[in-house]
Amino acid sequence: MHTILEELRVPFDDDQIKFKLQVKLDDNTGLAAPYVDARAVIDRLNSVVGLRWSEHYSMHYENGIWYAQCELHLYFEQKNDLPLKTYRTGFGIGDDPKAAESDAFKRAAVKFGVGAHLWESGLIKVEISGNKILTPRSDMLAALKQSSVGDEAANTPIGEIASSTHDPKPKAAKPAAGAGAASEKQVNLIKKLLGQSFDNPDELYDEIVMLLDDDELSKTNASVVIEHLLGKKENPEITTLLDMIGVQK
């Protein structure tokens, strides 16, 4: 099983990696995120585990946005010839069902290590014109391999590499990692509140972080989550996520 997981984590070849503009810093510069498409993930699963995997989706549509939950199941052969079944869950959002499913599928796959090197890398500083990236592809690949772009805001680990190319317009820049991060007290309170209603609070917390902040929950969004869980102010996206992934006590 460990060998299989190691094979799943093998970095993708350069020709499989794509880049998309994730954040606009100003009119001329931005941050690009590396990603692979769903076909590359499917090929990786097929090459490593063959037919011993399956995917199951739950879909929800609200206010013009599609939400998807993907359960990615892998089956491992054991010494006693009895299969070991394990799965990971991914939660995705898109403007159409296919985009949401692709997002959720890749978020589930990365939890098995598929594309983890992209997820763990930093956003890459690029030159832009409008929404177009001007920086040569070769330069972006070189920056990706160095895992450093020499910019505080660009050292934030990527939580969007599982997103499809149907993502909305590039986002405004977020605070640098660590600046304005949620306090330990906020994190503990969120997990405590989740644990009062759900049997999988840690998984839900991780999915909420990816939904709102990609990597590390900010103080502001931690307050949003707490207000939601306390019933003070509902957040529709959090509601949908909990409805789809939450395991009620």
What is the C-alpha separation between 63 and 93, in angstroms, rounded?
12
Q: Give the model's confidence band at 181: pLDDT under 50 very low, under 70 low, under 90 confident, else very high.
A: confident
Give residue-wise pLDDT tens across range 61-110.
Answer: 988 889 999 999 988 765 455 456 678 888 888 889 999 999 999 989 98
Is 4 inside a domain boundary? Answer: no
Of 115, 143, 172, which one is at a domain's C-terminal end? 172
Answer with the one of 172, 197, 230 that is the final residue of a domain.
Answer: 172
Q: What type of residue is 210?
A: M
Q: Do residues 110 and 197 both lie within one domain?
A: no
**Any idea which of 11-15, 114-118, 124-128, 178-182 has the lowest mean pLDDT?**
178-182
**Is the predicted pLDDT of residue 211 greater than 80, yes or no?**
no
Same domain flag for 128 and 218: no
pLDDT tens-digit series, residues 220-230: 888 889 988 98
* Phi and psi, residue 42, nearest 5°: -60, -45
Q: How many domains does the chain have?
A: 2
Strands 132-133 and 124-129: antiparallel
**Is residue 155 in some structural domain?**
yes
Say whether both 116 and 214 belong to one domain.
Answer: no
The reply to whether 11 falls in a domain is: no
**C-alpha torsion sign, points 127, 130, 136, 139:** positive
Q: Do 165 and 191 share a structural domain?
A: no
Nearest CA among 122, 115, 117 for reference residue 90: 115
User: Does residue 116 have a pLDDT over 90?
Assistant: no
Looking at the structure, tell me whether residues 215 and 153 fall in a common domain. no
Same domain, 142 and 190: no
Whether 12 maps to a domain, the answer reads no
Q: How many CA atoms lie within 13 A of 41 on its CB side?
A: 28
**Mean pLDDT for the chain?**
80
Q: What is the distance between the alpha carbons of residues 67 and 101, in angstroms, rounded to a whole number?
A: 8
Q: Are residues 121 and 221 in the same domain?
A: no
Burial (CB < 10 A; 0-12, 13-18, 19+), residue 180, is: middle
In a domain, 1, yes or no: no
65 and 143, same structural domain?
A: yes
pLDDT of amino acid 36? 94
168 — pLDDT class (breaks 50, 70, 90)? very low
| Cα(184)–Cα(22) distance, integer angstroms | 28
Residue-wise burial string across 129-154, b where 16 or more C-beta atoms lie within 10 A, e elsewhere: eeeebebeeeebbebbeeeebebebb
Residues 90 and 28 in one domain: yes
The domain in which residue 127 lies consists of 18-172
Q: Work out the percent of the chain whose per-residue pLDDT is above 70.
A: 79
| List of long-range contacts for 229-234, beta carbons under 8 Å, 24+ apart | 229/190, 229/193, 229/194, 230/193
What's the confidence (pLDDT) of residue 213? 65
* 105 and 213, same domain (yes or no): no
* 162 and 195 assigned to the same domain: no
Q: At a CB cut-off of 8 Å and minimum separation 6, what does 191 contact?
A: 201, 202, 205
What is the per-residue pLDDT for 148? 37
Domain assignment of residue 101, yes or no: yes
User: Same domain for 159 and 191?
Assistant: no
